[in-house]
Amino acid sequence: MSTTTTSPGLKQGDARWFFGMLATVRATAADTNGQYTLLEVVAPPGLEAPLHVHHTEDESFLILEGDAVLYVGDERIEATAGEFAFGPREVPHRFVVGPAGARMLWVITPAGFENLVEAASVPAETMTPPPPEVVPPENAAEIVTRYGNEILG
């Protein structure tokens, strides 16, 4: 018996250009009874996520390919393929992608992060990270705040 519902937002398999990365939605709130959002993310070499904090959700990272250095609070985590890192809510974190780029799974709990992805991105035209001219919206900080997060730096 299925307990999922349909929603007008993103669906499984939707690919978006999101903050310099390719983010493909693998599971939404509708797919998981509101428990989590699952994203597959491809980030180009050297991409740096800004320091940010999630006020309402935890974020987990599983590196599938490549590597990244994650900064979670005062901890520095050098993660390569097969390694996991956890960013609890209310703890500022960021990451820097290594020279080979990275493919990651992000699990965000509880669900709903797909709404931020939809609001702050555009549909991907190819299954690659976006070209340099595709940038976050001018009001990205306001969008991030609207969804319970905050860009700190």
pLDDT tens digits for 11-34? 789 999 999 999 999 999 999 999
- How far is residue 5's CA from residue 7's CA, in Å, rounded to a whole number? 7
Query: Do residues 4 and 33 lie in contact, with contact meaning Cβ atoms separated by under 8 Å?
Result: yes
Domain range list for the chain = 15-128+137-151
Can you read off the two tokens belonging to residue 72?
């979670």
Query: 15-128+137-151 has which CATH code?
Result: 2.60.120.10
Specify the pTM: 0.90
Count of C-beta atoms within a 10 Å radius of residue 153:
7
Residue 3: per-residue pLDDT: 41
Residue 153: per-residue pLDDT: 78
Kind plus residue range of the DSSP H or E element containing 87: strand 84-87
- How far is residue 77's CA from residue 130's CA, in Å, rounded to a whole number? 26
Residue 63: per-residue pLDDT: 98
Intervals of the chain under pLDDT 50? 1-7
